[in-house]
Amino acid sequence: MIVLDKPSPPTNLGVEDVFAENCTLTWTDPDDDGGAPVTGYVIAIKEYNDYSWKTLPGVVIDTLHIVKGLQNGNKYKFRVRAKNIYGVSDPVETAAYIRAADPFGRHSPSID
């Protein structure tokens, strides 16, 4: 018997190339597609000390996405859910908050 359902969560969610205003999320396809092809991914973001997740607009087709609009110095967590014609998976979530910051050490001029 074939069971048709929403996919399992994506796996191996990682955050790369973190900058002051953006970062890159990467993940791998879910282990189980629920019996139907995965049609995209839904991404949500949560800022440190915020109680709610905000879903980013649109559905991402690839397993890599550049999240734009971060605020320099703020901390963020991310969730990714897989989607097929039967529904949306449970999320995979980043383990820790990441701080949006320039990795190359550029600093604002100090004011004495």
Does some domain include residue 29? Answer: yes
Does some domain include residue 4? Answer: no
Q: How many CA atoms lie within 13 A of 75 on its CB side?
A: 8
Does some domain include residue 41? Answer: yes
**30-83 pLDDT, tens per residue?**
999 999 999 999 999 999 999 999 999 999 999 999 999 999 999 999 999 999
- Looking at 29-68, which runs of residues are DSSP E strands? 40-47, 54-55, 64-68
**Mean pLDDT, range 91-101, rounded to an integer:** 96
Cα-Cα-Cα-Cα torsion 38, 40, 46, 51, nearest 10 degrees, comes to -60
At residue 107, the pLDDT reads 47
Does some domain include residue 47? Answer: yes
> Per the structure, how many domains does the chain have?
1
CATH of the domain at 39: 2.60.40.10
Does some domain include residue 78? Answer: yes
Does some domain include residue 27? Answer: yes
Domain that holds residue 61: 17-99
